[in-house]
């Protein structure tokens, strides 16, 4: 059967981004592991009622982000992100994503410890949520 993917075209969030998010989440949750094949563009397309090109676009971006490996004429497979070689790149991504909050904390004159406390708290609760789903 198909992957647990649901899209809501009227949510405001672009469909291709919803796809990316859910696939990445399934990788993080362990449901998809290194070497696993992603569903074909046509299969997902008919299952979700979404145009194949929209699926393809999501896959392309995932490939650009090195989450997935493309093999011409064959289904995409999940890359192994746990290797040492990948660590730098993952941290670099996280760093980029943190620049906005860091700037905001400075702008709002929020105390260093307060900001760290909030971040720690948010990480912990999100990890608990993920655990419950396993």
What gap in Å lies between CA 52 and CA 42, rounded to an integer? 6
41 binding partner (options a second copy, DNA, none; Cβ < 5 to 8 Å by kind):
DNA
**Which structure tokens are listed for 70?**
């493309």
Range in contact with DNA (rule: CB under 7 A) among 23-31, 73-81, 84-92, 98-106: 73-81
Q: Token pair of 48, please?
A: 């979700």
Q: Taken in order 42, 35, 64, 71, is the CA torsion positive or negative?
A: negative
Please, which residue, 74 or 95, has the CB nearer to a second copy? Answer: 95
Strands 74-78 and 68-71: antiparallel
Where does this chain bind DNA (CB under 7 A)?
A: 9, 14-17, 38-43, 50-57, 59-60, 63, 70-76
Where does this chain bind a second copy (CB under 8 A)?
A: 21, 24-25, 27-28, 81-82, 90-91, 93-95, 97-110, 112, 114-116, 118-120, 122-124, 126-127, 130
């Amino acid at each position: 059967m198909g992957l647990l993917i649901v899209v809501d075209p009227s949510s405001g969030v672009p469909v291709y981004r919803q796809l990316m998010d859910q696939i990445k989440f399934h990788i993080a949750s362990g449901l998809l592991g290194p070497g696993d094949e992603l569903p074909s563009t046509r299969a997902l397309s008919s299952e979700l009622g979404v145009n194949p090109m929209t699926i393809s676009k999501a896959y392309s971006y995932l490939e650009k982000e090195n989450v997935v490996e493309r093999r011409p004429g064959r289904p995409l497979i999940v890359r192994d992100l746990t290797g040492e070689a990948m660590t730098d790149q993952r941290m670099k991504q996280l760093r980029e994503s943190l620049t906005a909050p860091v700037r905001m904390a400075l702008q709002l004159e929020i105390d260093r410890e307060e900001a760290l406390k909030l971040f720690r708290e948010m990480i912990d609760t999100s990890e608990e949520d993920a655990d419950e789903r396993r």
